[in-house]
A = this chain, B = another copy of it.
Amino acid sequence: MRLHHVGIAVEDLEAAKARYLLLGFRVEAEGEVAAQGVRVAMLRGEGEALLELLAPLGPETPVGRFLAKRGPGLHHLAFATPDIEGALAALRAAGARPVDETPRPGFGGHRVAFLHPSFAQGVLWELVEG
């Protein structure tokens, strides 16, 4: 697999975008994932891995609760796989506990699935099909 993007929880999407523009990153896509209660800006630099800024639409959302507990900062690692069901099954067989038992639509129309951070020493993993 390859690293697809790094998810970053932010309180202020515009202010955060401005910081990454300083590094030469550009906004490739932006929009809401209503089912996750989040507004997303996907940033592309000179390389292939993306940065995904995540601002909550309200406090009672996954990212809202993350911010209340941990403050803003690095949130998850997303890995690209051509076969998300196969990857999910292999990780489950190795002891990982899926947050999503079956893949669901994520930002940009990709199918995604998250895995509980207990499996990877505190790191929330996301699988992205593509």
A residues lining the B interface (CB < 8 Å): 1-4, 6, 8, 10-12, 15-16, 19-20, 22-25, 45-49, 51, 70-77, 79-80, 90-91, 94, 117, 119-123
Q: How far is the CB of A85 from chain B (nearest CB, A)?
A: 16
From B1, B11, B24, contact of A24 by CB (8 A): B1
By a CB distance below 8 angstroms, the chain B residues around A46 are 1-2
By a CB distance below 8 angstroms, the chain B residues around A16 are 120-121
A48 with B49: CB separation less than 8 A: yes
B12 with A121: CB separation less than 8 A: yes
Q: Given A74-B77, A121-B16, A121-B72, do A3 and B47 touch, yes or no (CB 8 Å)?
A: yes
A3 with B1: CB separation less than 8 A: no
By a CB distance below 8 angstroms, the chain B residues around A1 are 23-25, 45-46
User: Top 10 closest A-B pairs, CB basis?
Assistant: A2-B47, A73-B122, A74-B74, A49-B49, A72-B122, A72-B121, A2-B46, A3-B49, A1-B23, A19-B120
By a CB distance below 8 angstroms, the chain B residues around A49 are 2-3, 47-49
From B6, B19, B24, B25, contact of A121 by CB (8 A): B19
